[in-house]
Amino acid sequence: MVNCTSESLFRMSRRAVLRLLGLGAAAAAFPGLARAEEEAFTSEQAAFGYNNFYEFGFDKFSPASRAAGFKTSPWTLRVGGLARRTEDFALENLRALLEEREFVCDMRCVEGWSMRIPWAGFPLAALLELVQPLPEARFVALESCADPQWMPEVKRGSFPFPYLEGLRLDEAMHPLAFMATGAYGKPLPPQNGAPLRLVLPWKYGFKWLKSITKITLCPEQPPTTWSRHIPEEYGFYANVNPAVPHPRWPQDTETFFGPGGLNDRKTRPTRLFNGYDQVAPLYADMDLKTHY
């Protein structure tokens, strides 16, 4: 398992991590350990039961029940724009081409809660290398599924779906940018963004697009749902940053959900880039006190 928790001291025994994951001996091949001070993952029940997936409803608990029958196989990922290989990939074929791995990442929602989750998937860079961006490509635009047959809020037209997200190409190529296909040693459940979602541990959770159907390489910054509709609350970059206040939720601390579920809460300070300092060079030219 690749560890992308934010500190370099990993004292937890590997066996304990594997036990927590329920992977047992089969996972012996994965090196990597969790952070000592919060050695446990958020409970699977909390991660799979407390969700933001507005296509299925605007409260935290509807997505798990309403997305239960969402059909995520077969699935097509359309790759287009400024790439040498533009193609409609059958996801199962694409996954066969890319090496999947396990990794642990913290997720910080702009609403002020956070989780530590063991994921599985592949680096977004591996997919981009496969399709070979052209030199003019500077950004990556991503689009979620918006299927009125399965998604009640898409059917009601209550929000400007499809949910769009975007990254600068160098952010998308960073080794901490992942596409997840699983979590807790299982295929990703629909409410968590099956069959393919972004995992961007240094960015607020609203950038972690779910159920992705389309990726387009483009020359300019693409429109994204939140930065277009509520720009004063949600920027394009949306890096976790306690120095940038949010009009609705305090950002200097966060509530971490632990192994005991939603009632097992710990308040801890929010860290710049969610503690993933490796990404700092990407933003060397930006004033980190400003909302982007």
Which single residue brings its beta carbon nearest to ligand MTE? 205
In angstroms, rounded to a whole number, what is the distance separating the alpha carbons of residues 150 and 267? 36
Does residue 53 bind ligand MTE (CB under 6 A)?
Answer: yes
Smallest distance, ligand MTE to C-beta of residue 278, A: 22
Instruction: Decide: is 30 part of the binding site for ligand MTE (CB under 6 A).
Output: no
Q: Judged by CB under 6 A, does residue 202 bind ligand MTE? A: no
55 touching ligand MTE, by CB under 6 A:
yes
The answer to the question of residue 209 lying near ligand MTE (CB under 6 A) is yes
Listed ranges 53-61, 76-84, 166-174, 280-288: which one lies at the site for ligand MTE (CB under 6 A): 53-61
208 binds ligand MTE (CB under 6 A): yes
Size, binding site for ligand MTE by CB under 6 A: 16
Burial level of 47, CB count in 10 A (0-12/13-18/19+)?
buried
CB closer to ligand MTE out of 5 and 225: 225
Among 3, 5, 72, 144, binds ligand MTE (CB under 6 A): 144
List the beta strands (DSSP E) in the chain.
2-3, 76-81, 87-90, 101-108, 113-123, 139-144, 164-168, 178-183, 186-187, 197-199, 212-218, 253-257, 265-269
Show the CA angle centred on residue 277, arms to residues 275 and 281, nearest 5°: 150
Asked whether 282 and 273 are in contact (CB, 8 A), the reply is no
- How many other CB atoms are there within 10 angstroms of residue 111's CB atom? 16
AA identity, residue 110 = V
Interacting residues with ligand MTE (CB under 6 A): 51-55, 109, 144, 163, 192-193, 205-206, 208-211
